[in-house]
Chain A
Amino acid sequence: MNLSRARSPWVLHYDASSCNGCDIETVACMTPLYDIERFGAISIGCPKHADILLVTGTINHKSLRVLRNIYEQMTEPKVVAAIGICATSGGVFHQSYNLLGGVDKAIPVDVYISGCPPRPEAIIDAIVMGVEKLKKKGKEGLAGSAEASSG
């Protein structure tokens, strides 16, 4: 079970309010050069199917609601990775009046990746670290999630 979990991290990408720099790098991971599918990771558009949520960009008042909604729809075990310095802390925009700051202001974050934008290698690294967390959460939470699903 845990091996399968490690070999098949399905990734959901959400752009909270990024400048698109991080998004391009995230999508670059799926191109032939980096090809994260060789690790079993595919980009999936549906929160109910996803294991890892990659968030790029800072959180503002509009994207807060959307992000929380997506996070709640994801099924356990799940991991959130903040991609880029904006998602980590707000970066150069952190004092802006319309922003809340990093992703961790809205939902619990497991992996932080800095860089503006981070290199695709770093994003793959985020997925690998996310997988480790996923395994740990899977071990701890299996009993709990079985209860939750039967309710």
Chain B
Amino acid sequence: MSFAFSVAGILAAPFLGGLLAGLDRKITARLQGRKGPPIIQPFYDVIKLFGKESTYTNRHQVFYIYAYLLWMAMALLLLLTLQDFLVFVFALTFAEISLALAGFSTRSPYSHIGSNREILQILASEPVLVFLAFALYLASGSFMAGGLFLLGEPLLRNFPLIFAAVLLILTIKMRKSPFDLSSSAHAHQEIVRGVTTEFSGRYLALSEIAHWVELVIILFVVFLFWVDPWWVGILLALAAYLAEIVIDNIFARLKISWMVATAWGWGFGLSLLNILYFTM
């Protein structure tokens, strides 16, 4: 796809992600019988954060927060230009590791717990994406995501179980119940704010924007399961997102060890089963 399209995609992603986050808050409020904030609430929050005093505990922290955002943008670029899916997975992992390092670079124990959990989340979720890359290879004969458009049939038809595994890690990536662990963003105050405890002002805003980009990325991965015709893929991604919000509201949170067990047990199991079944 063209260069201009990719640049436009990168610029539009934070807005799209912000709107989705606002929609999430609205729907969550409605599910709980509240009126809820306006849909553009996340933008108010981030703009306000840019106007607040920004403190940092050391320079590494600032560097890692920028790295988080830039690698996230990089991962999105790789995905939008339909590059090698494996490289995309590495870029995404790099971004998340940067976030964990930003948490580790401070001395707050809450940050450290948050970062530890973040690393475990990466450990739990990333292998499923690698399996997805493998499935891509089996289906189209290359790791290039562009191959999907030439396939003639949706990836979902041959790999429904991997799709289920991706839905599972969607919860982990979106940091939602039952796996809302690393920043305890929704379970208020359990470990203060986890990884983001020591971020403030503009740096918190940047990490928030990076999280929106991450949301768009992971929904794009869902979209890849049905690229032709494209609107089915978009509907699929939206449906997954809405289901995620409902799941977030009806589930209690699980322990971190259960998350790893579920992601490895079910995620690995389903993916492996699907790949075996496909290659047989």
Contact = CB atoms under 8 A, between A and B. Distances in A.
Given A45-B188, A45-B193, A4 B44 contact: yes
Given A8-B48, A145-B53, A32 B41 contact: no
B114 to A, nearest CB: 11
B41 A149 contact: no
Contacts of B200: 48-49, 75
B52 A46 contact: no
Contacts of A17: none
A85 B54 CA distance: 34
A92 to B, nearest CB: 30
Contacts of B44: 3-4, 7-8, 40
Interface stretch (B27-35, B85-93, B212-220, B270-278): B27-35
* Most B-side CB within 10 Å, residue of A3, A39, A48: A48
B55 A4 contact: no
* Most B-side CB within 10 Å, residue of A10, A39, A46, A76: A46
Contacts of A51: 48, 52
Contact of B41 (A40, A48, A49, A138): A40
Q: How many interface residues does chain A have, given as a range?
A: 20 to 34
B120 interface: no
Interface in A71-125: 75-77
Interface string B40-75: 010111011011111100000000000000000000
A148 B53 CA distance: 8
B37 interface: yes
Contacts of A18: none
B201 interface: yes
B183 to A, nearest CB: 10
B204 interface: yes
Interface in B1-37: 25, 29, 32-37
A32 B273 CA distance: 45
Contacts of B197: 46, 48
Interface in A1-44: 1, 3-5, 7-8, 10, 32, 35, 37-40, 43-44
Contacts of B51: 1, 4-5, 138, 142
A35 B34 contact: yes
A13 B200 CA distance: 18
Contacts of B41: 7-8, 40
B63 to A, nearest CB: 16
Interface string A39-69: 1100111101101000000000000000000
Contacts of A46: 192-193, 196-197
Nearest to B28: A37
B257 interface: no
A149 B36 contact: no
B36 A35 contact: yes
16 contacts: A1-B47, A3-B44, A4-B44, A7-B48, A8-B41, A32-B32, A32-B34, A35-B36, A37-B34, A46-B192, A46-B196, A46-B197, A49-B193, A75-B201, A77-B52, A149-B55
Given A48-B199, A49-B204, 16 more contacts: A4-B44, A4-B45, A8-B41, A8-B48, A10-B45, A32-B32, A38-B29, A38-B37, A39-B37, A45-B188, A48-B200, A75-B54, A75-B200, A75-B201, A77-B52, A138-B51
